[in-house]
Structure 1
Amino acid sequence: MNSPSFRMPARRLATVATVTALAAGPLALTGVSSAHATGDHGRASAVVLRTGLDVSLLNKSVNVPLTVSLNDVRAPRSAEKTTLTATLDAVDGGRPFSVLGAEVAEARATATATKAEGSATLAHARLHVPGLPLLSLIEVEQVTARATCEVGKKTFATTGVPGSVTVLGKRVALSADGPTDVEVPGVGEVRLDLSSTRTTARTAAATALELKVSVNPLKLNVAEVDGTVTLAEATCKTPQPESAAQPPAEQATPPADVKPQGEPAEADLAETGGSSTTPYLMGAALALLAAGGGAVALARRRG
């Protein structure tokens, strides 16, 4: 036989159960995620010059890749570079070969919690390739590229280019309608793509000038150069705040045997401090109270 001293009175049992259900509140019916999502602080990059050229020396007996990046910077760590020259070794008889010289060559990349931006500027610059040490592949007054990605704003990319450039010694007017082809007999060909920009919901990219080069100075028979050259390029990706990265908590389904009592609650109870879980809590509380009352009545009849 159970000792009466270990039995809780029915009235107190019902009260404790009711208080416990009410104290649990929405946590009893709502799933809570403990995962802590971290935000993406965005990305940015910028470069003043990038080459991807194949150089063939001495009737193609020696092949040298001409791969040069000048002032190539990347963020999330903010960075800035202003190197004005780019050289290449082991091409011009073992002597350093000057690929680019400029009065201004600047690249910046920054990324914070709300904004990422890349920018590149090249001014009063001359680009050379092996085989043409005295003749510039291209001369530009100033070209710029900028890409900006900011939280809550539309991404944008922009470029600034002059109306004309000098290619293989020829003054060339640039066209926004399509590529510009320049051909110099006995020297080579250059195709210029002007001002390329691309944007999406979270990214942006800008390229001021891209050159497709095919140079073969037949009279000199010194070098053949093929590939691409990019001048002033910038990219970015919009930061993603921490709150946007965290998934919303899922709401659990209430037990099937717990029914809300009385009139259905209004969908919007913001003014009274209620919520969508209130009918379920009240129904559970009333059910527990009814059970407690029945237990008390039964105990009295036994007494």
Structure 2
Amino acid sequence: MYNNRLALRGLLLPLVLLCAPSFADVKPYITMTVEHGLNTECKTCPRSLCPNQLAYDNYEDIFNATCWTRGTKIMGSNMWLKSEAGCYVTKYDLVEYDGEFQNDLVYCGEESEEQHLTEEDATLQYKTECNICPFISCDTIAYLKEETDVTLTCWTDQGQMIIDDPFWMKTSNNCYVAQKGLYSKPDITYLDNCGPIPWLEQNDHNNENNTSEINKRDPETLPAPVELGTQYLINVTVGEEYAYCRMCPQETCKSKKRYEFDQEVWLQCLAQTNGTWWSETTDFCYVKNSDFWQSPEGDNYRNPLCENFEDPEEVEN
């Protein structure tokens, strides 16, 4: 009986060895190249809302990927790669790899999939475009109305100057709002710095990360903003003896405020009624654009349309 057991064990041993996993093909790293024409972010965790540690904003940047993990689904793929710098890049932004990362690299571990965020609540004072990066010319992800509550996740002072303020805040909508549009400046000592931010485009960086549903609408389904210059919350001056600011963009609407000649006025958005352009001011009333020295709908400005900020269901009702 004992000899039979030995013989059986001798037969099983080769089978066990054949079935045992082999790590001979696992590589210490794989050199990856950023897809030509794409900028990308290297994040502190594999989630869209996480701050950036690095930004790859030169075509065909190269880095060494040391392991793979799962995170926010970007353009249909939830795979992210950890660079030798210790930050994570979405697989979608990289040149296609001739192989399987799950076979050729080690898994980064369950802890790598966790999302670590700082958060602070804030409320918008004005109508605000929430952009994919902190510049007026970046794609608008959401049009947020005044009095909208937002959750801030990080801050940057490298954004486009709005009036006198370069600070922008990333929100849980996974887009950036100008600090100037908030009721008050947040205490950034409680928030992470967003890190370096490259130029991004919505068509190449669409994500499925369960971001806030507050006014989360595709701008392409709404009337397109006027394609002009690069301004937001612009200041103009009254060119008539008086400029009446009305409750709605029509001459027959009740006047809420009267501006005087050469008075500086700040504008939020544009509205058109029967071929006449009006602007909603930060006093939440409308002035005919012809009452200003400047032409807010003209070539030097890019103001969003006021209707972009309205709920389509409310408009229909």
TM-score bin, normalised by smaller chain = under 0.3
Larger Rg: 1
TM-score where L is the length of structure 1: 0.19
TM-score where L is the length of structure 2: 0.18
> As a proportion of its length, which structure holds more strand?
1
Structure showing greater relative contact order (alpha-carbon pairs closer than 8 Å, 6 or more residues apart): 1
